[in-house]
Amino acid sequence: MSAIIRPAGALKSYIAGENEIEVDSGQTLKQALGILGIPSEIVALVIVNEEQQPKDYLLQEGDVVKLIAVIGGG
């Protein structure tokens, strides 16, 4: 029962530069970010299966979650 998290850009540094990582589904995205050590406040946009979702979204089996942050700034 898992979902895939794909952090964009500089957020990759939180998962050792990998492109994606598997997490358990059945938890909220915020909880999953906490386990991965990604500070949820720096995530600007969450896209789950091509749809924008809030950070308290409950992860479903097979979800692909893209995380966009603006680390370098505007």
Partner 1 sequence: MNGYGGSILRVDLTSGKITKEPTPPKVARDYIGGRGFGAYFLFKEVPQDADPLGPQNKLIISSGPLSGMMIPGAGKCDFTTKSPLTGGYASASLGGHFTAEMKYTGLDSIILEGISPKPVYLFIDDDKVELRDASAMWGKGTLTLEKELKGKFGEEFQVALIGPGGENGVAYASINHDYGRQAGRGGVGTVMGVKKVKAIVLRGTKSVPVADPEGYRKAGMALFKVCKDATGLKEWQTYGTTIVTSWCDEVGALPTRNFSAGSFEGGKNIYGPVMRKEIVITDKGCFGCPSPCGKYSHMKRYNTNVEGPEYETIGMMGSNLGIGDIQDVAQANLLCDELGVDTISTGSAIGWAMECYEKGILTKQDTYGLELKFGNAQAAFAMIEKIARREPGLGALLGEGVKRAAQKIGKGSEKFAIHVKGMEQSAYATHNATAMLLAYMTCDVGAHHNRAWAITYDLQVGRDQVVPEKVARVIWLQNFRPMFDVLGACRLQWVELSIDRDLYVPALEAITGVHRSWGDLEKIGERIWNLSRLYWARENEGFGRSWDMPSPRFYEEPPKTGVTAGQITRLEDVQRLLDMYYEQRGWTSEGLPTRETLQRLELAEFAA
Return residues touching partner 1 (CB under 8 A).
Answer: 6-10, 12, 19, 39, 41-45, 47, 52, 66, 68-74
Nearer to partner 1, 1 or 73 (CB): 73
Question: Nearest approach, Cβ of 66 to partner 1 (angstroms)?
Answer: 7
Give φ, ψ of 12 to 5 degrees.
-60, -25
Nearer to partner 1, 26 or 66 (CB): 66
Question: Nearest approach, Cβ of 72 to partner 1 (angstroms)?
Answer: 4
Strand partners of residue 46: 67
Nearer to partner 1, 1 or 17 (CB): 17
DSSP 25-47: SSSBHHHHHHHHT--GGGEEEEE
C-alpha to C-alpha distances, 30 to 23, 72, 74, nearest whole angstrom? 12, 22, 24
